[in-house]
Each structure stands twice: as structure tokens, then as C-alpha cells.
Amino acid sequence: MLSEKLKENTKVVHIELERILVHKIKSIRTIDDYLEILVGFYRFFAPLEKAIFFQLDKTLPDAVSRRKSEWIVEDIHYFDPSYSSVTPYASTPVIQKPSHAVGALYVMEGSTLGGQMICKMISQKLNLLTSRGLKFFSGYEDNTHVMWGNFKKFLNSGNWSQEEEKEAVDTANRTFILFKQSID
């Protein structure tokens, strides 16, 4: 199953990225610190998301509901309504076919699972009494595990060749590495 191959073959880079992210989250002291993290996510996720959905819009049944870069913009504007724009990060993985797209989307969708923990950490660090400004890290809220399950079904129901599975794994690893570099 592709979801298991992705999980097993990206474990090392996933842990490395997670370590850096947790350190950054624990270092938050002010809203500006949090905004810096959001901007970093947006710079990487926005162009990557565009490339992913160019490949998957017609095949992934719930593609529209999986777009999250606008959630980041909402969070930024909640804390800083005058914030104008963010320049996307230039170094994202190359997404030229569906197998590349599912590998990168595996990383983005997986972030919704960890995002719920991050959401709680940020809320506590900043003494936020509401979930406003935390839309991105809240993920799909109560539907996060359902959405993750549906994505895994999509991954596992595809008739991926061995070469396409390898491309998906390679792209997922590249996504983790480049994202780590973009926020490190």
C-alpha cells in the first residue's frame, strides 16, 4: 500500500523536520514570532499547493477542501490586518505528474495531524482564549482523522506502478527536506 510505503520511507526526514518545528513552536514568545512561522509555512505551501492541485484536481475527489494556504493568510490577517503580501519560497519540489503530487500532498496532509498538537502549543504559549488565528494548525478540526483516512484510501486505491510509487516516495522525501531548509 502506497500510504505505508510513504510512511516507512520518509520516517527519518519526517522526524528531522518535526524536531525543528517543535523547537520553533516552543520558542514562540510573541505574536510576531508566530507570524514569522505562519509566513514561513505560506512561502513554502502556497506554490507547492498550486503545483499539486494542477496535477490532482481532476482525480482527487475532495481536492478543493484540501487547499490550506488561504487558511494561513486568514491567520496572518487575524493578527495583522495590514499585512500586505508574502513572497512564495522559490525552492519547492518539482511536481510534473500525479505521482509527484501525491508524494508532496502526503507531507502536507500529514501536517494536519501534527497541527492539532501545534495548535494547542501555540494557544498556550500566546494565552489565546479563542481558536481565531489558528485555522491552519487546526486543520480540518474534528474531521482531521476522517480527511486523513480518505486521503490514505485515495493513495491506496490508485493503480500506481512501482516507478510511480518510487517517484511519490522520492517527492515526499524531497518535500520534507526542502520544507525543513525553508524554515531552518
User: What is the band of 83 on the pLDDT scale with cuts at 50, 70, 90?
Assistant: confident
pTM for this prediction? 0.93
Cα distances (angstroms) measured from residue 112 to each of 47, 58, 78, 109, 165: 18, 22, 20, 6, 22
What does the pLDDT average to over 70-80?
A: 94
100: three-class secondary structure by DSSP: helix
Query: DSSP letters along 102-133, please?
Result: HHHHHHHHHHHHHHHHHHHHHHHHTT-SSSTT
Write out the three cell numbers for 129.
482564549
Query: What is the distance between the alpha carbons of residues 9 and 85, in angstroms, rounded to a whole number?
Result: 36
Architecture in CATH for domain 2-183:
Up-down Bundle (1.20)
Burial of 154 (0-12, 13-18, 19+ CB in 10 A): buried
The alpha carbon torsion through 63, 2, 90, 112 (nearest 10 deg) reads 60
User: What is the band of 158 on the pLDDT scale with cuts at 50, 70, 90?
Assistant: confident
Q: Is the separation of the CB atoms in 103 and 172 below 8 Å?
A: yes
User: What is the band of 31 on the pLDDT scale with cuts at 50, 70, 90?
Assistant: very high
pLDDT in tens, 94-141: 999 999 999 999 999 999 998 888 999 999 999 987 788 999 999 999
User: How many CB atoms lie under 10 A from the CB of residue 93?
Assistant: 23
What does the pLDDT average to over 21-33?
A: 95
Query: What is the distance between the alpha carbons of residues 112 and 105, in angstroms, rounded to a whole number?
Result: 11
Question: Where exactly are the structural domains of the chain?
Answer: 2-183
User: What is the band of 177 on the pLDDT scale with cuts at 50, 70, 90?
Assistant: very high
Give the pLDDT confidence score for residue 91 in this predicted structure.
87
